[in-house]
Amino acid sequence: MTFFSRALLLFVTGIVQIFFAAHLLFNWTILDLPSDLMFIPGILVLLASAVLTIDYYFGNRDNRVVLYDEYIADRYYKIGAAGYAMTGIGVFVLYSIQDYSKWSLEAANAFIYDLAAFFWFVFGSLIVIFSYGDYKESVDG
């Protein structure tokens, strides 16, 4: 695996996450969601994780040293810290805007969808940002 192939794998995974999250958050009508298609982002994340894990353990040792060095880990941790901050603020806002006086099963269900869509959106955005770093590495390196 190279920086470019990893960037492409992560970018596609992140964009799909963002698309499904935005579809749910903004009530787009491109697809009939929520539906049986909701498994697609999760399957892509699992497949991407499997490919990266298999590459790490069974891939070329020289590429592994380059692809998984301290600089990449530092970039991952910084992006993860920003993600935790965005998630914390977003969850606070989502809880704050709820009208609990008119709470019902439908409102709770909608809230859970909004919360899940927000997490997908943040997670997908972080994946795309990380993939952009890999793309820059492939162009610069």
pLDDT at 18: 92
Q: Number of structural domains, the chain?
A: 1
Concatenate the DSSP letters of all residues of the chain into one string.
--HHHHHHHHHHHHHHHHHHHHHHHTT--SS--SSGGGHHHHHHHHHHHHHHHHHHHHS-HHHHHHHTSHHHHHHHHHHHHHHHHHHHHHHHHHHHT--GGG--HHHHHHHHHHHHHHHHHHHHHHHHHHHHHHHHHHHH-
pLDDT at 107: 81
Distance of CA 24 to the CA centre of its chain: 15
pLDDT in tens, 40-87: 888 888 999 899 888 888 878 777 777 777 777 788 788 888 888 888
Share of the chain above pLDDT 70, in %: 96
Give the global pTM: 0.78
Start-to-end C-alpha separation, the chain: 14
Domain containing residue 112? 3-140
